Structure 1
Amino acid sequence: MTTAIIKPQWSPLTIALMVMGFIIFWPLGLAVLGYILWGEKFGGSPEKAQAYWNKGKAWCSSNAPRHHRNHWNRSSGMSSSGNAAFDDYRAEQLKRLDEERARLDAEIDAFHEYMANLNKAKDREEFDRFMNERRGSRQGYDQNKPDNGDNNNGWGSNNA
């Protein structure tokens, strides 16, 4: 018997908490849904939860298809298939694919560099246009400014 305030079952309270969780922050609603569905299996103790996790993990690894388990081993260690000709062919094809991958990566890097240079040139052009327009407007302002002969620029008198 569990003494939890919110029991892992479908009740109006847990449904309301789940809906509110989804509205506020969707992972919170997902966590409440997981608690409703699987809360009893965990039993509320970390030991039971770890045991349940280990049991599920062992079931997945024992029921995985043989070719998937071998594929994971081959990708890291390149075990032999039992046929020398096929192993040579496979090694040659993998080497060719690695070379092709390296060539494509170099092309991607070259394209990114090209785009960066293009964007830099575009930015430079826009900045130069802005500065030219700004200089033009400042020159027009300087030309229209009346010069009344005093050099104090309107900041009061310069009497010493």
Structure 2
Amino acid sequence: MTTLTQTAPSSASGGWFTKTEDWLDNKGKGAWIAAMVLGFVFFWPVGLALLFYMIWSKRMFSKSCSHKMSRHSGFGATRTTGNSAFDSYKADTLRRLEEEQHNFEAFLERLREAKDKSEFDQFMDERARKSDDAATPDA
């Protein structure tokens, strides 16, 4: 039986929070606890926020923080199972889901553009109506 070692890759494109979270995950639970204690020592709301985050994300009760892969790593998507039929099905399904996601995002973008155009047209109509009302003298 082969043992796979899983290390969470650092996300180069993520923000400072994601990078810090990945760094603490790579260091283990002790780093999270040390960060929480230092947060309490220097500024108690930071320590409290870290404690709540650790409980909410289930880092406090897991055996190891590094077992959880980064949300952006896609580790499970590329690992093969040894069953070629299932791997082919999984690859097709993931490709289809990515295509559907792309189509949905394109739909949302078109919807936003249509809404913006509608609001702009409404603004221009109101502006034209106000200028027409101001141009006609009241008797």
Structure showing the higher helix proportion among its residues: 1
Higher relative contact order (CA 8 A, sep 6+): 2
The normalised TM-score by structure 2 is 0.48
The normalised TM-score by structure 1 is 0.43
When Rg is computed on C-alpha atoms for both structures, the one with the higher figure is 1
